[in-house]
Amino acid sequence: TKEIAAHDEDIVVWTGDKKAATKVRTIEKADYETIHKDYSESIDALERAIAVLKKQAYDRKQVSLTQVASLRHMRLIPTEAKKAIEAFLMQDPAEGLAVSAPEADGYEFQSQGVIDMLQKLFDKFVGERTDLEKEEMSSQHAFEMLVQDLRAQVDQATKDSAEKTETKAKKLEAKASSEANLQDTSDMKAADEKYLSDLTATCEKKASDFASRQQLRAEEIAAITKAIEIISSGAVAGSAEKHLPAFLQPRGTALAMLRADTEGGAR
């Protein structure tokens, strides 16, 4: 019973752990997708902005800096980078042809500096996104292994609990059957003892009756023997006709008369 209760408790704990791990993984997955989306959008915007700035070096009039300006609203773009972009956008590239050569060179130098800055951010974000993806894969794998292990433990505990429950039921059934058999045996023993007691009493009565009959026969034989002796003696030879018909009467009556005559002769 204690083992079954322990298995049931383990099942509850491991099932709870699995639910908790699944909940945490769901939150982690949602966070990952949000951050991954930010990185992907920032990388795409940086890539487009770099392409625009590089094209501007050849034809300023045909280039729109909208892509560059959009970087100011990206969550992952550092504050310093946003300030540099803002300063760069404060200049009017449309007037680039009217400025002096030193001013034009300064603008181009600043443009190249922005390009270099954006390129570094691009490379940095690509690397961080790659690391994020690897971390997500590792977390997902760890989660799957944990769930697999918990599921295996729950399945094994469930199996063990079921087996022990079945064993317990069989033991209880065997105990009940044994108790029933014991009761049957007790009842049978009581019946046998009563039968033996009755049989013994019957046998004793029959033995007593047999002894009584044997005693009676012995007495009858003795009486007959005595009668024969009397008849055979000369003293009563003349009275044979008197006594002989008596022996033809029923044995009990003849013996009674014989005993009476014998007693009279003795007197």
DSSP summary character for residue 63: -
> Across all residues in the chain, what is the average pLDDT?
79
**Buried residues in 143-173 as b, exposed as e (16+ CB within 10 A):** beeeeeebeebbeebeebbeebeeeeeeeee
For position 95, what pLDDT does the model report?
44
pTM, to two decimals: 0.54
Query: What is the SS3 assignment for 137?
Result: helix
Average pLDDT over residues 185-206: 87
Distance (Å) of CA 264 to CA 226, 257, 258, 259: 15, 11, 10, 9
DSSP summary character for residue 96: T
From CA 162, how far away is CA 260, in angstroms rounded?
Answer: 97
DSSP summary character for residue 158: H
Taking alpha carbons only, the member of 43, 84, 88, 81 closest to residue 65 is 88
Lowest pLDDT segment from 100-109, 132-141, 215-224, 255-264 = 100-109
Average pLDDT over residues 120-136: 96
Answer yes or no: is pLDDT of 41 > 90.
Answer: yes
Q: Give 34: exposed, middle or buried? Use CB within 10 Å, 0-12, 13-18, 19+.
A: exposed
For position 235, what pLDDT does the model report?
57
From CA 225, how far away is CA 97, in angstroms rounded?
Answer: 179
Answer yes or no: is pLDDT of 217 > 80.
Answer: yes
For position 212, what pLDDT does the model report?
86
* Distance, CA of 37 to chain centre: 45
Taking alpha carbons only, the member of 121, 130, 35 closest to residue 77 is 121
Ordered by start, the domain boundaries in the chain are: 2-165, 219-266
Which pair of tokens denotes residue 246?
């008596």
Find out whether 76 and 126 touch, Cβ atoms under 8 Å.
no
Give the DSSP H or E segment for 81. Answer: helix 79-89
pLDDT in tens, 146-175: 999 999 999 988 888 888 887 888 888 888
Taking alpha carbons only, the member of 162, 164, 153 closest to residue 12 is 153
For position 68, what pLDDT does the model report?
79
For position 190, what pLDDT does the model report?
85
pLDDT-based confidence at 249, cuts 50/70/90?
low
Most confident among 18-27, 200-209, 219-228 (mean pLDDT): 18-27
Percent of residues, the chain, with pLDDT higher than 90: 27
For position 123, what pLDDT does the model report?
96
Sign of the Cα torsion 239, 244, 250, 251 reads positive
pLDDT-based confidence at 243, cuts 50/70/90?
low
Percent of residues, the chain, with pLDDT higher than 70: 77
Query: What is the SS3 assignment for 100?
Result: coil
Which pair of tokens denotes residue 174?
């065997």
pLDDT in tens, 70-121: 888 888 888 888 888 888 888 755 444 444 444 444 445 467 888 899 999 9
Q: What are phi and psi of 30, to 5 degrees?
A: -65, -40
Average pLDDT over residues 10-37: 94
Which pair of tokens denotes residue 106?
């300064």
CA torsion, ordered 210, 211, 217, 220, to nearest 10 deg: -140
For position 104, what pLDDT does the model report?
45
